[in-house]
């Protein structure tokens, strides 16, 4: 299996295109090194979780292109894409990934502000007189 496996991951308003090839565990995000792109160690850990769940930490190279959202949403999108790519590579990896919740997209987005109001839920103060 020397082919590239492609998967799309999403979280909030972020979308990640993940290309997975057999390799040594090198992760590249938007043409930059993984450690440069995500300075926060929690986000790096988040992206590595699918590999640890299936015990394949250094068997694949990842090249990801991510757009939209912020750091956390982009990291979640990459994690979702990596999980889907791992499932495509070997269907027997689905149960541990599914049990850990990595194959489920996190759909939570910011609620839009409504016209004539102060915010999404906030209203202008009511005055009887």
Report if residue 63 sits inside a domain. Answer: yes
Q: Is the Cα dihedral 119, 120, 122, 125 positive or negative?
A: positive
User: pTM of the full predicted structure?
Assistant: 0.89
Report if residue 105 sits inside a domain. Answer: no
- The crossing angle, in degrees rounded to 10, of helices 71-89 and 41-54 is 10
Report if residue 107 sits inside a domain. Answer: no
- Structural domain total, the chain: 1
Report if residue 127 sits inside a domain. Answer: no
Percent of the residues in the chain that have a pLDDT greater than 70, as a whole number: 98
Report if residue 87 sits inside a domain. Answer: yes
pLDDT at 22: 93
Report if residue 106 sits inside a domain. Answer: no
Torsion on CA atoms 18, 22, 23, 28, rounded to nearest 10: -10
> Could you tell me the CATH number of the domain that includes residue 54?
3.30.230.10
What are the tens digits of pLDDT across the range 43-91?
999 999 999 999 888 889 999 999 999 999 999 999 999 999 999 998 9
pLDDT at 98: 93
CA distances from 123 to 18, 25, 109, 113, 128 (A): 41, 50, 20, 10, 15
- Which residue in 96, 79, 101 sits closest to 16, CA to CA? 79
Report if residue 19 sits inside a domain. Answer: yes
Report if residue 123 sits inside a domain. Answer: no
By residue range, what is the domain housing residue 96? 5-100
């Amino acid at each position: 299996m020397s082919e590239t496996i492609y998967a799309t991951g999403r979280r909030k308003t972020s979308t990640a295109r993940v290309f997975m090839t057999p390799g040594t565990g090198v992760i590249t995000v938007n043409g930059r090194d993984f450690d440069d792109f995500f300075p926060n160690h929690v986000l790096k850990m988040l992206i590595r979780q699918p590999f640890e769940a299936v015990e394949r930490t250094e068997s694949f190279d990842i090249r990801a292109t991510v757009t939209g959202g912020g750091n956390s949403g982009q990291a979640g999108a990459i994690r979702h894409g990596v999980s889907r790519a791992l499932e495509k590579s070997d269907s027997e990896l689905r149960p541990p990934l599914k049990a850990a919740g990595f194959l489920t997209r996190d759909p939570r987005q910011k609620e839009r502000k409504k016209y004539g109001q102060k915010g999404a839920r906030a209203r202008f103060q009511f005055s009887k007189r």
